[in-house]
Amino acid sequence: MPHKPFKAVIPAAGLGTRFLPATKAMPKEMLPVVDKPAIQYVVEEATAAGIDDVLIIIGRNKNNLSNHFDSVPELENNLRKKGDEDKLAKVQQSSDLADIHFVRQGEPKGLGHAVLRARAHVGDHPFAVMLGDDLIDERDPLLTTMLSEYDKRGATVIALMEVDPEHIHLYGVATVEATDTDDVVRVTGLVEKPKREDAPSNLAIIGRYVLDPSVFDILERTEPGKGGEIQLTDALEELAADPEGPGVYGVVFRGRRYDTGDRVDYIKAIVQLAADREDLGPDLRPWFKEFAATL
Ligand code: UTP
C-alpha cells in the first residue's frame, strides 16, 4: 500500500555547547549562514524534496526559532509602505515555506529522545529526520535519492559519507555490504563515536535519515548510551541487526555538506556559499584570493 506523503522532523533542541556563548540565548540552528539561519536551508531542502509538513523539535530558547517561521506584520507593513518588494519577499519566504509545527523536547536527553518526541505527529508512517545544523548543498539533492530508496526497499535509509580516519570518532560509523546499486549499501552494524582503531569503516552517518516508524518502539526502550544520551544510532543498530526486519540501507553521499554545528566547518560554509553567490561572489572572491596569499 502506498504510504502517506513523508513528513520531515528537524531536531533543534541540543545545547549547542561548541558555539557558546553565541548559543547561550539562541539555538545553534538559528546561526546565520551568510544571510539565512541554518535551519531555513534545511526546511528549503525538505520542500525541494516534496515535503511540506515539517516538525521542529525545540528546546530552551524556542522563541526565536518559532518567530522565524512566523509572519511579522509590523516589519512587513513597513517594507510594503517603502515599496521594498525585494526585502518583503525575503521576510515572507520563511513563513510561506511549509506547514511548520513545533514540539518541545523538555530535557535534551539525546537525538534518539528528540526523535521520539515526533511520534504523535508522525504516526505510523515513514518520515525523514534532518539535522538542523547539517547543511546539504542544494546542487547535490541527497534527500530525494533517500526517499526513492525508501520507496524501493521499504526499509530505513541513512546517509553515509566517507570521512578521514582522524575524525571518525566524532560520528556514528557503519559496517556495510554492497548492494546491486552503486553508492547504496546494506548496513549490517552501527557504532556511535568509536575510537579510530575500533571503527568498522570510514563511512560515517551524516544528518539525514528516512526512518521506518518501527524505530519509535525501539527508541521507547533504548537506554542512554555514549555520553549518557539516548542515541538514535543505537536504535538503528537494533533495526539493522534484526534478521526478521527489512533492515537498514545507506546512501553514500559524495556531494557538498556543511556541518554548521562545528566552528571551523561553519566558517568554511559561509565562505564557500558566499563565494558561490551571484550577489556576493564578485566582491568576495578577489578579496579571498588576496587574503589567502597573506596566510
Ligand atoms: P549534536 O550533538 O550535534 O548537538 O546533536 P548539541 O548537543 O547541541 O551540540 P554540542 O556538541 O553541545 O555543540 C545533533 C542534533 O541533534 C539535536 C541537535 O539540536 C542537533 O541538531 N539534538 C541533540 C536534540 O534535538 N536534542 C538532544 O537532546 C540532542
pLDDT in tens, 66-119: 999 988 889 999 999 999 999 898 888 888 889 999 999 999 999 999 999 999
Residue-wise pLDDT tens digits, 217-238: 999 999 999 899 999 999 999 9
Q: Is the CB of 16 under 6 A from ligand 1?
A: yes
Could you give the angle at the alpha carbon of 32 between the alpha carbons of 28 and 33, nearest 5°?
110
Which atom of ligand 1 approaches the CA of 134 most closely?
Answer: 21
Q: Which of 15, 136, 229 to mutate to test the pocket of ligand 1 (most atoms within 8 A of CB)?
A: 15
User: Which residue has the least CA distance to atom 17 on ligand 1?
Assistant: 14
Residues, the chain, total? 295
Q: Is the CB of 110 under 6 A from ligand 1?
A: yes
Confidence grade of residue 216 (pLDDT, cut at 50, 70, 90): very high
Sign of CA dihedral 186, 238, 105, 264: negative
- The CA distances from residue 205 to 157, 169, 193, in Å, are 11, 11, 10
Q: Which residues touch 105 (CB under 8 Å, ≥6 apart)? A: 11, 13, 57, 58, 59, 113, 114, 117
The answer to whether the CB of 68 falls within 8 A of the CB of 94 is yes
Q: What is the mean pLDDT of residues 1-26?
A: 90
State in Å: Cα 80 to ligand 1 middle.
38
Q: Dig out the grid coordinates for 90 from the structure.
A: 525575503
pLDDT at 1 over 70: no
Distance from chain centroid for Cα 175: 22
User: Which residue has the least CA distance to atom 27 on ligand 1?
Assistant: 110
Confidence grade of residue 146 (pLDDT, cut at 50, 70, 90): very high
Q: Beta strands of the chain (E only): which ranges? A: 7-12, 32-33, 36-37, 53-58, 99-104, 127-130, 134-136, 156-162, 172-178, 184-192, 203-211, 248-252, 257-259
